[in-house]
Chains A and B, each alone.
Chain A
């Protein structure tokens, strides 16, 4: 297996036990068994740093932001806007004004489909891939139906990699205005060659958006190095709270794009006849935002950054390699997707046992995985599957938990066959 981190440095070793101590939920029992949580790709658990920061905000330092003339409002505004600096730094964005807070990655993509989409003309096209989450498919279908653009789909190989030749061919006529592709598949674990994808898109006159929901969790993200024009991610997969996501976009694009939602905070002046828009990023942040959640996201970024992506990536590469080895020993089990470069997500099926039965029986043993189409129905059809089971790993996952998963899968198969 190859990964984005070629070597495991001794200095980048994680103290998993010390990390687990910081996640209170990992001490819980499910059906009288210790919780084995292998569903972080759906949503990650939260460390004390995040929980405490949100509770402390609500206990000690909370008011609405951007409009208050009192001490509490000013302090809360500072904390909220401080997270914008943290996120800019986290993505290596050229400026803090390019960071737009949204509810999640889905809303960030919808924002781009709505506001960048408003600049597109009939006949132009948006290009996605076969392995997109519904969040990076449905908004473009809606745009297509409303704006008369084309929606193109780049195929994947049987191994689960983007078919680069087909991708290039789909860009050849110069009609594609935007390529919108996942940076890491939530089903196959594929980490897409983002830099190469961006270079090819730019050479064909297209811009590129990466859905980083899965990938920002696993390795350092540098939007400038990737050559991205738009980048989205969500807080709750990054050990932060739900209800807060991020859109990064190049300043000139955000400035050209009309607002998404209208309301308070996004205006400059308002009369009954017309309104003018606030400067970016506020133009895209209508209404009172998720103040506490944003501050929680800041705590999550601080916390993850202290551990460092060298250590996180090395740990997850080791877990993924271990999982692929161990799961291969389970009779009847097939791994879905063998991408060249992958993150800590492993989908599988078992002969004669439906993924939902696997998930229910694992749950009876305290093991939480995901089963179903993973909000990627067209990908399931491409793979000729109705569903898969999926185990996904996080910063707190232990090798022993993967062993428990593999051993339990053997017993489940015995039960059914």
Chain B
């Protein structure tokens, strides 16, 4: 497109653009076990999560997001990633995801095997866009809120 294409694409990976435009996990569940909300007062973006649990496993998850491409794609890729995880695994991914965004070399998580981020690594360039980190974090804040109602 022009000389800045590489830079632009570094932030707005094709996967982010696609998931923002055509999310795979958008919508509501008919009978969620827990729900979570995230709202960014600075920009008005918001996301709602419906989560169905099977014991401590996330059986299914849907999000309803109104926000920028970064926020919408983060919600969709988060749902994809944590589906099938235990609550504890999902929270470990959340910590690791945050550590990646802020560029933190040390993780506050005490575990032998760090949770792999997989496709969530497309958000790594946000490290150099501090003002947009909160966009990608919003769904994870909603996830933590949802799990705050779950024991252990």
A binding-site residues for B, Cβ under 8 Å: 31-33, 352-357, 360-361, 364-365, 372-373, 377, 380, 386-387, 411, 415-417
Give the interface centre of B69, B132, B135 by most chain A CB atoms within 10 Å: B69
Q: Is B112 an interface residue (CB 8 A)?
A: no
Q: Complex Cα distance A65/B2, Å?
A: 55
Task: Assess whether B11 is interfacial by the CB under 8 Å rule.
Answer: yes
Q: Which of A356, A365, A380 contacts B4 (CB under 8 A)?
A: A365
**Contact of B129 with A by CB under 8 A:** yes
Assuming the contacts A356-B135, A373-B43, A411-B1, asked whether A361 and B8 have C-beta atoms less than 8 A apart, the reply is yes
Q: How far is the CA of A411 from the CA of B2 in the complex (A)?
A: 10
- The reply to whether B43 and A364 contact each other, CB–CB distance below 8 Å, is no
With contact pairs A33-B4, A372-B43 given, residues A357 and B12 touching in the complex (Cβ less than 8 Å): yes
Closest partner residue, chain A, to B42 (CB atom): A372
Taking a contact as CB atoms under 8 Å apart, the answer to whether A380 and B44 are in contact is yes
- B34 CB–A CB distance under 8 Å: no
Which residues from chain B contact A387 at a C-beta distance below 8 Å?
Answer: 43-44
Q: Is B68 an interface residue (CB 8 A)?
A: yes
Complex: how many Å from CA A372 to CA B41?
10
How far is it, in angstroms, between the C-alpha of A387 and the C-alpha of B41 when the chains are bound? Answer: 11
**Are A364 and B132 in touch, CB under 8 angstroms?**
no
Among candidates B1, B4, B67, B129, residue contacting A354 with C-beta atoms closer than 8 Å: B67
B129 — nearest CB in chain A belongs to which residue?
A360
- Chain A contacts of B44 at CB under 8 A? 372-373, 377, 380, 386-387
Q: How far is the CB of B72 from chain A (nearest CB, A)?
A: 8
Per-residue CB contact flags for chain B residues 1-42 toward chain A (1 = under 8 Å, else 0) read: 111100110011000010011000000000000000000001
* Neighbouring A residues of B12 by C-beta, 8 Å: 357, 361, 415
**Contact: B43 with A386, CB < 8 Å?**
yes
CA distance A94 to B66 in the complex (A): 51
With beta carbons under 8 angstroms apart, the residue of A31, A357, A380, A411 that contacts B69 is A357
Q: Report the Cα distance A272→B85, complex, angstroms.
A: 69
Given contacts A355-B68, A364-B11, 20 further A-B contacts (CB under 8 A): A32-B3, A33-B4, A354-B68, A354-B69, A356-B70, A356-B132, A357-B68, A361-B12, A364-B4, A372-B43, A372-B44, A373-B43, A373-B44, A380-B44, A386-B44, A386-B66, A387-B44, A415-B17, A416-B17, A416-B69
* Nearest A-chain residue to B45, judged by Cβ: A386
Residues on B with beta carbons closer than 8 Å to the beta carbon of A355: 68
- In the complex, which of the residues A356, A377, A411, A417 contacts B68, with contact meaning CB atoms closer than 8 Å? A356
Considering the complex, give the chain B residue whose CB is closest to the CB of A360. Answer: B132
Contacts of B43 in A (CB 8 A): 356, 372-373, 386-387
Evaluate contact between B7 and A364: CB separation under 8 angstroms: yes
Query: Chain A contacts of B17 at CB under 8 A?
Result: 415-416
Say how far B12's CB is from chain A's closest CB, in angstroms: 7
B106-139 interface (Cβ within 8 A of A) = 129, 132, 135
* B44 smallest CB distance to A (angstroms): 4
Q: A356-B68, A365-B4 are in contact. Are A416 and B135 (CB under 8 A)?
A: no
Interface pairs (27), CB distance under 8 Å: A32-B3, A33-B4, A352-B21, A353-B69, A354-B68, A354-B69, A356-B45, A356-B132, A360-B11, A360-B129, A360-B132, A361-B12, A364-B7, A372-B43, A372-B44, A377-B44, A386-B43, A386-B44, A386-B45, A386-B66, A387-B44, A415-B8, A415-B12, A415-B17, A416-B20, A416-B21, A416-B69
A352 to B66, CA, bound (A): 11
Interface residues of B in 77-113 (CB under 8 A from A): none
Cβ of B69: which chain A residues have Cβ within 8 Å of it?
353-354, 357, 416
Interface string of B40-55 (1 = CB under 8 A from A): 0011110000000000
User: Which residues of chain B are within 8 angstroms of A361 by Cβ–Cβ distance?
Assistant: 8, 12
Contact present for B70 and A357 (CB under 8 Å): yes
By Cβ-Cβ distance, the 8 closest A-B pairs, closest first, are: A386-B44, A354-B68, A356-B68, A357-B69, A357-B68, A364-B4, A364-B8, A372-B43
CA distance A386 to B138 in the complex (A): 16
Chain A residues in 8 Å Cβ range of B67: 354
**Nearest Cβ on chain B to A266's Cβ, whole angstroms:** 36
Q: Given the complex, which residues of B lie within 8 Å of A365, measured CB to CB?
A: 2, 4
Q: How far is the CA of A14 from the CA of B70 in the complex (A)?
A: 42
Give the complex CA separation of A380 and B43 in angstroms: 11
User: How near does chain B come to A256, taking the closest CB pair, in angstroms?
Assistant: 38
Chain B, Cβ-Cβ closest to A353: B69
**Bound-complex Cα distance A183 to B12 (A):** 39
Report the minimum CB–CB distance from A260 to chain B (whole Å): 29
Residues on the A chain within 8 Å of B68, using CB? 354-357
Listed residue (A33, A360, A365) with the most chain B CB atoms within 10 angstroms of its CB = A360
Q: Which residues of B contact A360 (CB under 8 A)?
A: 11, 129, 132
Indicate the member of A354, A361, A386 with the most B CB atoms within 10 Å.
A354
- Cβ-neighbour of B1 out of A353, A380, A415, A417 (below 8 A): A415
Contacts of A364 in B (CB 8 A): 4, 7-8, 11
With a cutoff of 8 Å between Cβ atoms, the chain A residues found around residue B129 in the complex are: 360
| A246 → B minimal CB distance (Å) | 29
